[in-house]
Amino acid sequence: MSVGRATSILLGGLAVFGPAPAQATLTWNLPTPATPLALDTLHVHNTFMAITLAIFFVVFAIMIYSIVNHRKSRNHAPASFTGPGTAAQIFWTLIPFFILVFIDFIVMGIPAYHSVVVMQDTRTDADMVVKVTGSQWKWQYEYPEEGIKFVSSLATPQAQLDGQAAKGEHYLREVDNPLVLPVGKKVRILLTSTDVIHTWWVPQFGTKRDAIPGFIRETWATIVQPGIYRGQCAELCGKGHGFMPVVVQAVTEPEYRQWVAQKKAEQAAQAAGAQRTWPRDELMKHGQEIYGKICIVCHQPNGQGIPGTFPALAGSKLVNGPFLDAAGRLVKDGHLDRVMNGKPGTAMQAFKATLSDSDIAAVVTFERNSFGNKMGDMVQPAQVKALR
C-alpha cells in the first residue's frame, strides 16, 4: 500500500471522527467536550481511532489482495512455505511486530499516561467540593461548604413512558432539581451510595466514576461554558436503572452565588416548617407528591406493589399497625421505622438519609390514609425530627 493511500485513510478517519454537536441525532463521535478533561479524552480517542482504522485497512488490504489473487479459480499454484526461511525474511516478519510495540507503548502509551494522571488528579487547585450520593433510583447532591443538600430525581411523567403522552424533548434526561455548578471552577466530586453500586456519568464531562456503598470515590470537572449538561446512571442498579438521570446546570459565578443564597433560604424555611404543626390536608397533599416521586416506582400507583418483589401497602399489616409505642419510641419494624431506617438487603432504603422531616411525616401520613388504609392518624414533622 502506498504512503499516499495510507495518509488519505488517516485523514478520512479523522474527518469521520470529528467532534459531533451535542444532542443532535445520528452522532458519530463523543459529544462536544464541556471540560478540559473531555477535550483531552476526545483527542486521545480520535488519535487512537485513526491509528486502529489505519491498522485495520492496511492489514485487511493485504488479506483482500491475497484473497483476490491467490485463488484456485485463477490457477494460482499454492506455495509450500511454513515460516520465514532466510534471515531477511525473519527480519521482515519482525518489522510489523515492532511497529505494533511502538504504537502500543509510545504512540498510544505516552498520551494515555498523561491523560490518566490528569484524570486522577482530583485535588490540585480544587475550588469546591460536591458530594454525590446514589440511591435507588435518584441522586442526592450535597454542598458541604454551604450546608446545602437536596435530592434530584426523574421528572419525566410515567404517561410518557407508557406511550399515553407525547415524549418531551428531554425524555428520561430531565430532573426536578438539577445539580448547579459554577463555570470555571475546579469541582472535586465525591461519590458514594446508600444501597447498590451506581455510576455518575455526564458524557460531556469526559469522566465516569462508580458510586460504591460504604466507600468514597472521587472525580473532578471544570466546566468551561454555562449550559445544561445531561447524562444518567451507567451501572445496572435494579429496575429503575434506566430512569436515573444526571442533569447539571452550569452557571456563572454571580448566578451561582445567587442560587446558593436562594437555596439556603429555602432550606431555612423548610426547617422552620418542621417546627410547626401541619394540618392534615397539607400533610396528605405533600405526602401524595412525595409518594408520586419516590415510592410509586416499587409500590405502584395503587399501592398494590408487585407480588413477589415489592410488598403492597394497601391493607398491609405494617402500614395498618402502630408506629410509636406508649413511651413515644419507634416501634421496631413499624411503619415509620421502616420508612426512616429501611430494610437492609432489600430495595427499601433508609429514607431519613434523603428525605426531610416534613417529607417523611407527610408520606407516612399519606400512606396510612390512602389505598383503602383508614388509620385516621397523622405524623408531624417535629416527631420525625425528634426521632432522628
Positions 69 through 108 that interact with other proteins (CB under 8 A): 70-73, 76-83, 93, 96-97, 100-101, 104-105, 108
| Residue in 387, 377, 320, 378 with CA at minimum distance from that of residue 351 | 387
253 binds other proteins (CB under 8 A): no
Least spacing, CB of residue 78 vs other proteins, in Å:
4
| Sole window of 224-232, 257-265, 325-333, 377-385 interacting with other proteins (rule: CB under 8 A) | 224-232
117 binds other proteins (CB under 8 A): yes
Among left, alpha and beta (phi > 0; psi -120 to 50; other), residue 93 is alpha
Kindly identify the residues of this chain, within the stretch 266-325, that bind other proteins according to CB under 8 A.
306-309
Least spacing, CB of residue 173 vs other proteins, in Å:
5
Please give the Cα distance from 292 to 296 (Å, whole number): 5
Among left, alpha and beta (phi > 0; psi -120 to 50; other), residue 66 is alpha
Of 347 and 355, CB closest to other proteins: 347
Least spacing, CB of residue 385 vs other proteins, in Å:
25
| Sole window of 4-12, 178-186, 277-285, 343-351 interacting with other proteins (rule: CB under 8 A) | 343-351
Taking only Cα atoms into account, the Rg of the chain, rounded to an integer number of angstroms, comes to 29
Q: Does residue 205 contact residue 232 with C-beta atoms inside 8 Å? A: no
The residues near 77 (Cβ < 8 Å, ≥ 6 apart) are none
Kindly identify the residues of this chain, within the stretch 131-160, that bind other proteins according to CB under 8 A.
160
Of 30 and 130, CB closest to other proteins: 30
Of 60 and 377, CB closest to other proteins: 60
Count Cα atoms within 13 angstroms, Cβ side, for 286: 23
Kindly identify the residues of this chain, within the stretch 154-193, that bind other proteins according to CB under 8 A.
160-163, 167, 169-173, 191
Of 78 and 254, CB closest to other proteins: 78
Please give the Cα distance from 346 to 309 (Å, whole number): 10
Q: What are 30's three cell numbers?
A: 463523543
| Sole window of 205-213, 250-258, 275-283, 368-376 interacting with other proteins (rule: CB under 8 A) | 205-213
Among residues 12, 238, 273, 305, which is the contact residue for other proteins, using CB under 8 A?
A: 238
350 binds other proteins (CB under 8 A): no
Of 161 and 382, CB closest to other proteins: 161
Please give the Cα distance from 149 to 130 (Å, whole number): 10
User: Can the peptide bond before residue 200 be classed as cis, meaning omega within 30 degrees of 0?
Assistant: no
Kindly identify the residues of this chain, within the stretch 18-57, that bind other proteins according to CB under 8 A.
20, 23-31, 40-41, 44-45, 48-49, 52, 55-56
Of 149 and 170, CB closest to other proteins: 170
Least spacing, CB of residue 71 vs other proteins, in Å:
5
Among residues 32, 135, 153, 207, which is the contact residue for other proteins, using CB under 8 A?
A: 207
240 binds other proteins (CB under 8 A): yes
The residues near 280 (Cβ < 8 Å, ≥ 6 apart) are 365, 378
| Sole window of 254-262, 274-282, 341-349, 373-381 interacting with other proteins (rule: CB under 8 A) | 341-349
Of 212 and 271, CB closest to other proteins: 212
* HEC assignment per residue over 104-130: HHHHCHHHHHHHHHHHHCCCCCCCEEE
CA torsion sign, 204 to 207 to 213 to 215? negative
Q: Kindly state the number of chain residues that form the binding site for other proteins, as judged by CB under 8 A.
A: 104
Least spacing, CB of residue 337 vs other proteins, in Å:
18
Of 29 and 177, CB closest to other proteins: 29
Of 213 and 292, CB closest to other proteins: 213
Beta bridge partners of 251: 182
CA torsion sign, 337 to 341 to 342 to 344? negative
Q: What are 236's three cell numbers?
A: 445496572
Q: Does residue 313 contact residue 335 with C-beta atoms inside 8 Å? A: no
